[in-house]
Structure 1
Amino acid sequence: MTAALLAGAASGAYSLVSADGGTPLAGCDVIAGGDCDAVLQSPWATWAGLPVSKLGFGLYCAFGAGWLLVPLGGPIGRIGWWLVDICVPAALGGAPWFIALQAVAVGHWCVWCLVVHACGVLAALLAILLRHAASRQAAPSRPVLANLLMTQPGSRTRPASQWFAAPPGLGVPTAIGVLGLVALVGVQIFYPPQRFEVLTDLPAELDFDLAADRPSTGPAIAQGGGFDSGPLAMDQADAQEQEDADSSPGVEGFTPPAIPAGPPRRPLGERVIQVLDGKLRLNAYDHPILGSPEAQYVVVEIMDYACSECRKTQPLIFEALQRFDGKVAVVVLPWPTDVLCNSYVKKPKPEGRGSCRLVQLAIAVARADPDAFAAYHAWLTRDPKKAAKFMSARIEAEKFVDVNSLRREYDDPKTEQLRQQYIELFAQLAQGRNLRLPCQIVGNSIVSGAPENLESLIEVWEKHLGIKASPAP
């Protein structure tokens, strides 16, 4: 039991310290679907604003303290049994609850969290057995091998009553533990954590001007090659993907969602938008946009095509744009979660592979034909469960825009520069805070995470833009 408590506490402490320090946890990809960061940074990793990992570590500390006090006997030993009896139902009930959340709500596994839960269940079961043994004074307090080594020949094994204080009744401490478990689960069910969180405290050091032709200030890393060559071009996996591209769903039969036209574009137009109290400035004509750059209100979204939550959000954005009748447009700043071009990604993830090229391709489509971007963006995000592959996306892009224009814009250094600027912008916004994709900038507020439904998205836009949406049809 001591080993189980120590192993669980050590695993919990490691995940807690790593998560607080922003250091990726080792060994998280040893099982299919393993992604410790996704679990520990998910909204379900908090309870009433407190990190669940801290609550779990506190439970282990209480469990361990009780286990150390039990052998002291007398009133102190009874206090130890109280602590143990309180922790047992919490450990037995909390483990399956959080494992179910990983499987159903998060969709990823945290290996270290599973170790914590397994050790907690093991310690709880051993505590039940030892409590029963101590109550009946019939079982040794230590492993059989230890008793054999420490017992003189001809002597009898010391009964549990000589090692443990007589345990108190189960009623009160067990009831406290059960009530704690009910509170834990009940709060997360009836007051679920906010997945769509509005942050009003702005980064103090932020001063980002996307309206200026500014050079990239990020670290020097591999930036990729041209449309048909270089590090971002076809590799072996892409070659296999291209063989299957003809059989993958294309734009034929795909109907992009309608967007209200809004005010017409101006030839060679320029419209500088200032958000976040002027800390972020951008020219609405220079970036991918859903709607008109002359719309009365402009929302800025940072997303990644490899992010499932981002893809789930896009249909809601298209519906919201219809409800605002062309008064709102959304500037889309794609942020690749691929270490090939994004040095701020500390741990590569399989789903992020190729997102550098997808982002550059989407920006190239927007620059080649701004009016075609919305339909292509909708095609890229059409499947919430599966990200588009680069080769398929490239083939389909040539159906949305002129291939020569697409190649020219993809190879233009300005396209790559925009991609790097988007990377640096989100890194500055996320500095010192747990900012999740998709991320929206609505007026002077930053909105982190995916909305639960269309109405929650519209409610945020109405509140922070100061306008009203049309009634639902």
Structure 2
Amino acid sequence: MSNTAKRLLGLIALLALVGLGLSLYLTWATWSTSSLAGCQTDGLVDCDHVLTSHWSKWLGIPVSLFGSLVYTSILAACVLVASRFRRIGETSLLCMSLLAAGSAAWFIGLQFFLLQSLCLYCLGVHLCSLAICTLTIFYLKSVSAASNEDQMRALLGVMEQSPAQNFEQSGSAAGGIKPWIASGLASLSLVVLMCGQILYQPPGIVFEKIESTEPQGNESVVSTSSSETNTIEQLQEENQPIELSNSVDPALDETANEVDGDGVARRFIQFAALKKPIDVASLPILGSPKAKQVMVEMLDYTCRHCRHFHPNIHAATERYGDQISFVILHVPLGKSCNPHVRHEHRDHRNACEYARLALNIWKLKREKFAEYHNWLMESDTPPTLGSAKSYALKLAGKEVLLDQDLASESLNKVADNSDDLMALRGGLPMLLTEGGKLQGIPRSEQEWFEFLENELLLTPLE
């Protein structure tokens, strides 16, 4: 093997190691629903959207796991090439590199044209695949040319070995590898991959149950696998034990008779995904705080996925009435109010202002919050900031824009909500039930209704 061929083979092995590492990391992130390090939502870049889409899986299995197997096979092929099984190794190397390159082209196309979102780690894997395929072709041309040259020199008597001996030793003459077998197997595997993804339609929403522990001492604490930060609401009386119940009985729960500053009866509910109970009556809510079931929705008015999910919220309240309500936790993706946003995209430049206006409406005119919230979410894109301010003025007066205490309180709430979302390791929108978290967008209203009726035991109004 020539020095050029050795260098090319070494580069192929190095890229396979990089691709293997990235694929294993993506597999772990997909299975654990964890956010990718350094992959913030920024315009086209939206790793969470890519990894939570059904295109990230094949028959329910992360495609990155199959990518790991392909890169492992490429490494094994490199070992075979360097051994006495060179022909088998080169055929395997060509097959795996063609499969990797074809898969890369498929997934890059899906991200650009269908999902319209990019995952930087995924693109890194695909670039490794394309580079490996290119280097493999150069490698095979290099060893083929070297083999032909050696055979010609042997025929001319320059070398002591006979052509047959030299061919056997090199194992890479024109008939050494089996390109048709390699390309055929790669094409067949690629067709199986594409058909599996197109024909298999997994659920649009994924619900993950979260185990909670009993409160200890005088504090209500929940230990979960994903939440380790402060919640959005601190109880005013931390030193008094609170009995938690979704259905509040004034005879049994002394907190049922308490009211907040606006004269609204408090209702504390423990959500397993949050560290401490929250008073659902003191937070922005769509529906009645006394509803049989209360869900928490984390959202941003500039998040397109949140806006796509919103019609499902409206459909649920229409179908089930006062059986369900939705507490709104604002998690704007703007840098000025969200400490976890490092690079703000232009799509989110007004996110903090929208959230502040909505929270101020809630504090000043609670009965107008639902109207304002639904108005902000009614189209595919948010209204202009000027229109949002004008409508807020119409609903709540000048105080909605001028009260600095309200503005400061709103910013504090947003910061706490952002901490909660980071602890949950997921993207927006995210919905919480008392026992778990829900991510994704339903493929149909029926899928959404089935979840609510099977998991929360809701019944449609007659």
Matched, 1:185 2:187: no
Among 414, 417, 422, the alignment partner of 1:422 is: 417
Q: 1:400 to 1:209 in 2, by over 3 A?
A: closer
Aligned-pair identity (%): 26
Q: Secondary structure at the match of 2:277?
A: strand
Among 334, 356, 361, the alignment partner of 1:360 is: 356
Q: Which amino acid aligns with 2:336?
A: L
Matched, 1:304 2:282: no
Q: 1:409 to 1:273 in 2, by over 3 A?
A: farther
Alignment: residue pair count: 399
Aligned to 1:459: 450
Q: Which has the higher helix share?
A: 2
The alpha-carbon deviation at position 62 of structure 1 amounts to 2.0
Among 40, 51, 55, the alignment partner of 2:66 is: 55
Q: Which amino acid aligns with 1:340?
A: S
Q: Secondary structure at the match of 1:330?
A: strand
Q: Secondary structure at the match of 1:338?
A: coil
Aligned to 1:288: 284
Structure 2 gaps of 5+ residues are 1-7, 30-34, 151-156, 213-222, 239-258
The 5 A counterparts of 1:86-125 are 86-111=95-120, 113-124=122-133
Matched, 1:335 2:331: yes
- Cα distance in 2 for partners of 1:409, 1:286 equals 20
Matched, 1:323 2:319: yes
Q: Secondary structure at the match of 1:167?
A: coil
The alpha-carbon deviation at position 126 of structure 1 amounts to 5.6
Deviation per CA, 1:320-349: give whole Å up to 9, x if none.
210113322111111122233222345544
Among 371, 374, 387, the alignment partner of 1:375 is: 371
Aligned to 2:432: 441
- Cα distance in 2 for partners of 1:470, 1:24 equals 46
Root-mean-square deviation over aligned CA pairs: 4.0
- Cα distance in 2 for partners of 1:467, 1:362 equals 29
- Cα distance in 1 for partners of 2:37, 2:147 equals 40
2:302·2:351 contact (CA, 8 Å) conserved in 1?
A: yes
- Cα distance in 1 for partners of 2:275, 2:454 equals 20
TM-score, normalised to structure 2, is 0.72
Q: 1:421 to 1:326 in 2, by over 3 A?
A: same
Q: Which amino acid aligns with 2:432?
A: I
- Cα distance in 1 for partners of 2:62, 2:234 equals 39
Q: Secondary structure at the match of 2:329?
A: strand
1:196·1:450 contact (CA, 8 Å) conserved in 2?
A: yes
Matched, 1:212 2:212: no
The alpha-carbon deviation at position 313 of structure 1 amounts to 0.7
The alpha-carbon deviation at position 448 of structure 1 amounts to 1.7
Q: Which moved more, 1:190-199 or 1:118-127?
A: 118-127
Q: Secondary structure at the match of 1:324?
A: helix
- Cα distance in 2 for partners of 1:297, 1:8 equals 50
1:305·1:358 contact (CA, 8 Å) conserved in 2?
A: yes
Matched, 1:276 2:284: no
Q: Which amino acid aligns with 1:378?
A: N
- Cα distance in 1 for partners of 2:405, 2:158 equals 85
Q: Which moved more, 1:9-18 or 1:89-98?
A: 9-18
The 5 A counterparts of 1:192-211 are 192=201, 194-202=203-211, 204-205=223-224, 208=231, 210=233
1:209·1:281 contact (CA, 8 Å) conserved in 2?
A: no
- Cα distance in 1 for partners of 2:451, 2:441 equals 12
